[in-house]
Chain A
Amino acid sequence: MDDGAPGLSDRSLEGIMGRLAPEAYYQSPGGRRFLIAAALIANVPRGARVLDVECGIGPAAVDIAEAFGCKVVAFDNYAPYLAFGRQNAAGRGVGKQVSFRPLDGIAAVTAFEAGSFDLVLGLGGAMSDTIPGGLRGGFGAAAAWSKPGGYLICGELVTPGTPSELMRVVFGESLHGEAEFLATLNEAGFDLAFAARATGSDWDEMRATMNLLRDRSLDLGPPEERQRQRLTEAARNHPEVAYLNVLARKR
């Protein structure tokens, strides 16, 4: 740039992504790109306290620790995932910033002090799958854990309109309408800051990650987790299904 205009900021999405390890291991469409974009949009400060709900192998926990110097508590009920996460965190030099804890959703509700986190993460459907009470339970817990003004970054399969009977059969009650998802978020005390439906390339990237993990014979979770992942991968081109990533702020 000439004419005295300031240069583009280093605090950009590609700048941050370029400094992170190339293999991100996110198992949801949008994954790392949405997480870092949302963190920039929210202006997450260095050192923020983060809770990663149903963290899986912990890619978001490690990335947010590395990119923003956050202190992260991540929990999941599947021990092999946590072992992978710890190894990854240590390998990327953030082992002291990220704590992985074996917890199921019921235990998690009372395990953390209310109002103690600046940012709650619930990628890959964690808000509806983890805490008793489904999506309402997940958002309620996230609101309780968050400080006022804290942020929630989450993502979920949704249907753009009203789900058909066939989709109800396939996904049960877990497939919410996009409007219903956002209304539930609002009811739980969050104001929507930014929402984006995943693009085709987001889905392609997730599929590539899954194939990479399979090639490396990583334990991809218990049977219900594998089934959910299979359905998510299959949903890429289905007109009744979209993947919605969201950034919201606790009122």
Chain B
Amino acid sequence: MEDEHALVDVPSLDGLFGSLSPDPFYLSPGGRRFLLAASLIAGVPRGARVLDVGCGFGPAAVDLAEAFACRVTGFDNYAPYLSVGRSTAIERGVDRLVAFRQMTEREPLSEFRHGAYDVILGLGGALSETIPGGLEAGFAASAAWLSVGGVVICGDLVAAATPSELVEAVYDGKLRTEAAYLDVLEEFGFDLIFAARATRADWAELRRIMALLRDRGVALRPSENADWERIATAAAVHPEVAFLNVVARRRAE
């Protein structure tokens, strides 16, 4: 390649991958690979301010801090996950960049300043599961927390097309179609930049991480129990269900 033209200050996905810790513990299909790809696609700058919604163990918070020197606040309602997150941040030398906070229900809505973030993360269904009010409330909060032009990077289970009655019953009527999910995103003031359905390899990576966590005796959140894992594993090969990862930008008012 013509080195004189190379954009040496911009990393590639494999360059970033090679520089990060090998065990990221994402509980979401696509996990690290989509997060970093989305950051490159959206042009997330070094030093961006990030809010990680329902951060879990904080793999995304730590990765963005390490890869892009982002200043990240991650919140979750499950204290054991936050402890793991803090330890990971220290081990990886980014504890000054990442703050983990325990919060429940509506607390985050009044805690974080509007327009104060460049990036909102809501991986693994966090935007629909964290703030009371489901996906609409998650996108509304994200839009409020973001500066204009900021990006949301999130993912959720969706139905590839109109779900059958059986699948509706399994997911208690909460499984949206992909089109409905993207409609809600648009309705709350976001323009889609890029969306991708997870591949079989992404699901296999999730299963590998779950097994690794089990082997290490890590206590999972009560809602992330054996039934949850079984449904997640089954969804990987079910033709009606897909995992959609999305990066979108907040429009100007």
* B-binding residues in A (CB < 8 A): 1-15, 33, 37, 40-43, 45-49, 69, 118, 147, 160-161, 178-179, 182, 191-201, 237, 239-240, 242, 244, 247, 249
Given contacts A11-B7, A12-B41, A196-B199, 9 further A-B contacts (CB under 8 A): A1-B150, A5-B49, A5-B118, A8-B43, A40-B40, A45-B1, A45-B7, A197-B242, A199-B178
- A42 with B12: in contact, given A8-B151, A10-B43, A200-B178 (CB under 8 Å)? yes
Once the chains bind, are B1 and A195 in contact (CB under 8 Å)? no
Residue of A5, A193, A247 with most chain B CB atoms under a 10 A cut-off: A5
Once the chains bind, are A45 and B5 in contact (CB under 8 Å)? yes
Question: Which residues between 1 and 57 of chain B lie within 8 Å of chain A, taking CB atoms?
Answer: 1-3, 5-7, 10-15, 33, 37, 40-49
| Cα separation A6 to B46 with both chains bound (whole Å) | 7
Q: Is B212 an interface residue (CB 8 A)?
A: no
Contacting residues, chain A, for B178 (C-beta < 8 A): 199-201
Once the chains bind, are B160 and A200 in contact (CB under 8 Å)? yes
Contacting residues, chain A, for B10 (C-beta < 8 A): 11, 43
**B153 → chain A closest CB, angstroms:** 13
- A15 with B43: in contact, given A1-B118, A195-B199 (CB under 8 Å)? yes
- A239 with B239: in contact, given A8-B42, A45-B6 (CB under 8 Å)? yes
Contacting residues, chain B, for A10 (C-beta < 8 A): 43
> Which of B100-108, B187-195, B213-221 lies at the interface with chain A?
B187-195
- A197 with B196: in contact, given A69-B5, A160-B239 (CB under 8 Å)? yes
Once the chains bind, are B37 and A41 in contact (CB under 8 Å)? yes
* A-binding residues in B (CB < 8 A): 1-3, 5-7, 10-15, 33, 37, 40-49, 115-116, 118, 147, 149-151, 160-161, 178-179, 182, 191-202, 237, 239-240, 242, 244, 249
Contacting residues, chain B, for A191 (C-beta < 8 A): 14
Contacting residues, chain A, for B45 (C-beta < 8 A): 5-9
Once the chains bind, are B48 and A6 in contact (CB under 8 Å)? yes
The count of A-to-B residue pairs whose CB atoms sit within 8 angstroms is: 145
Once the chains bind, are B1 and A197 in contact (CB under 8 Å)? no
Once the chains bind, are A182 and B118 in contact (CB under 8 Å)? no
Point out the residue from B41, B47, B48, B201 that lies within 8 Å of A40, measured CB to CB.
B41
Contacting residues, chain B, for A161 (C-beta < 8 A): 200, 237
Once the chains bind, are B194 and A197 in contact (CB under 8 Å)? no
Nearest residue (CB) in B for A43 is: B12
- A197 with B161: in contact, given A12-B41, A42-B13 (CB under 8 Å)? no
Which 4 residue pairs across A and B have the least CB separation, nearest first? Answer: A239-B239, A9-B43, A196-B196, A12-B43
Once the chains bind, are A201 and B179 in contact (CB under 8 Å)? yes
Point out the residue from A182, A197, A201, A249 that lies within 8 Å of B198, measured CB to CB.
A197
Contacting residues, chain B, for A37 (C-beta < 8 A): 37, 41, 194
Nearest residue (CB) in A for B244 is: A199
Once the chains bind, are B13 and A193 in contact (CB under 8 Å)? yes
Contacting residues, chain A, for B46 (C-beta < 8 A): 6
**B206 → chain A closest CB, angstroms:** 15
